[in-house]
Structure 1
Amino acid sequence: MRVRVIVVGDDPLARAGLAKVLMEMTELEVVAQIAADDSVTDAYRAYAPDAVLWDLGWSPESTDWRERLSDLVESGARVVTLAPEQSLTTGAWSAGARGILSREADPARIAAALQAVDQGLVAVDPALGGAFLPSRNQAVAYQVEELTKREREVLELLAEGLSNRSIAVRLEISEHTVKYHVNAILRKLGAQSRTEAVVRATRSGLILL
């Protein structure tokens, strides 16, 4: 099923360009293009998309984008932001965006991020995540129990959306062993589901999507 998306941004030409590119992708459906103004949240409620792509533009400091983004997230939106530079990513993350990419990200990466946030996952460009996500070493310091090397491998594949069977094939182990590792990961991260485990791991810096 296709992910329904609205494209938000100040520049109408940039919005139109992004929408055109996304509409060419079979896994996405662009339902609206919205200016990044006070009408964003109302538009979100009207169109009820699965995800929002917010282009911050090249000079977002000239607008109240953080407050508007925060209001949008509080309304239930799952937002991917396109940031022109790393210094803006902390504000986007704090406002609630769970997909953060460079403005220069290619269409495939944007589509993957939109699909990820639609599934409740976090999608962060590794080159940008250092501004607000802790390093792997820092993350381990406050984990209740550190993941083993094999558990980390399984966790990375969970983040890719693989099933237990596919993980077993990839790692050349049995499905029973995969299930054992998944249960251990859920316990150590205090997660109730595979999706929650990936979200927790990403937020703590254990993995970067």
Structure 2
Amino acid sequence: MLAHAPIHCVFKSVLIVDDHPLFCDALSMTLQSVANIGEIHTADRLDRAIEMLEGGLEPDAIMLDLNMPGVQGLEAVRKLIGLAKAPVIVVSSMTEDCLISQVIHSGAAGYVPKHSQRDVFRNAFKALQNGETFLPEGCVLLEPDEDSVRNFEAQRLATLTKQQTRILELICQGKLNKQIAFDLSIAETTVKAHVSAIIRKLGVQSRTQAVLMAKRAPEINRL
């Protein structure tokens, strides 16, 4: 764990920024149980969270899911840190060391994988109260550099199937779903399903972000 300025407060209220109602409910119950947090606020999108903070909400901590509408990766972390006088803890299903390192170097106070048991959330809040930055067990914090970002993106791109990779190549060429369906002799609904899977696997929020990531990859650029 990394040391930072101690947080001299008892966590009484938390703002959860996540667009999955069931996860918000489960996380709320977990925080009430393991950290005795009685006041839970939720926002299902980033701009709503910003409205709440600008409207006077002062939570003791913020828990943010990176993979949700309106969240532009690390920019969301920086934006919330700038607005709130509270530590930001990222809660995400993505657990690559490179991503966690980027999040921490962007100023987040901790990173908790979404699949974590209750004790992990308890330990995260204990770490913050002790002036430590919380990292998942086994995480290796990497120094921020361009190569680590490229490696992370390459790992995400490698999770695509051959068909998804081909569709992403065609998207990079500026082709629409109807054109892609014609080129590959598949239904347009099948293309849409593949595009949704591509966006989910890459951890981005739009076709445009997927294209930007793909164009940074040498394998795509050579085709």
Rounded Cα–Cα distance in structure 1 between residues aligned with 2:80 and 2:126: 18
1:13 to 5, 22, 36: 22
In structure 1, give the amino acid aligned to 2:13: R
Gapped runs of 5+ residues in structure 1?
Answer: 134-209
Q: What is the 5 A alignment of 1:90-105?
A: 90-105=101-116
- Contact in 2 for aligned 1:79/1:97 (Cα 8 Å): yes
Q: What is the 5 A alignment of 1:159-174?
A: none
The count of aligned residue pairs is: 131
Q: What is the percentage of aligned positions where both structures have the same residue? A: 18
Rounded Cα–Cα distance in structure 1 between residues aligned with 2:140 and 2:27: 23
Residue equivalent to 1:151 = none
Structure 1 runs of 4+ off > 6 angstroms?
A: none
Instruction: Encode CA deviations 1:143-197: one digit per residue, 9 max, x unaligned.
Output: xxxxxxxxxxxxxxxxxxxxxxxxxxxxxxxxxxxxxxxxxxxxxxxxxxxxxxx
**Which has the greater radius of gyration?**
2
1:129 is the counterpart of 2:140: yes
**Alignment partner of 2:138: what SS?**
helix
Q: With the length of structure 1 as denominator, give the TM-score of the two structures.
A: 0.52
In structure 2, give the amino acid aligned to 1:49: P
1:117 to 119, 124, 128: 128
Rounded Cα–Cα distance in structure 1 between residues aligned with 2:129 and 2:43: 19
Q: With the length of structure 2 as denominator, give the TM-score of the two structures.
A: 0.49
1:42 is displaced (CA, Å) by: 3.4
Rounded Cα–Cα distance in structure 1 between residues aligned with 2:137 and 2:30: 23
In structure 2, give the amino acid aligned to 1:95: S
1:97 is displaced (CA, Å) by: 0.7
- Contact in 1 for aligned 2:47/2:70 (Cα 8 Å): no
Q: What is the 5 A alignment of 1:1-209?
A: 1-25=10-34, 27-45=36-54, 46-57=56-67, 63-75=71-83, 76-83=85-92, 84-86=94-96, 87-118=98-129, 120-132=131-143
Gapped runs of 5+ residues in structure 2?
Answer: 1-9, 145-223
Residue equivalent to 1:187 = none
Q: CA RMSD in A?
A: 2.7
**Alignment partner of 2:116: what SS?**
coil
Relative to structure 1, the CA distance from residue 56 to residue 15 in structure 2 (aligned partners, 3 Å threshold; closer, same or farther) is farther
Considering Cα pairs closer than 8 Å and 6+ residues apart, tell me whether 1 or 2 has the greater RCO.
2
Relative to structure 1, the CA distance from residue 62 to residue 114 in structure 2 (aligned partners, 3 Å threshold; closer, same or farther) is same
1:132 is displaced (CA, Å) by: 4.5
**Alignment partner of 2:34: what SS?**
coil
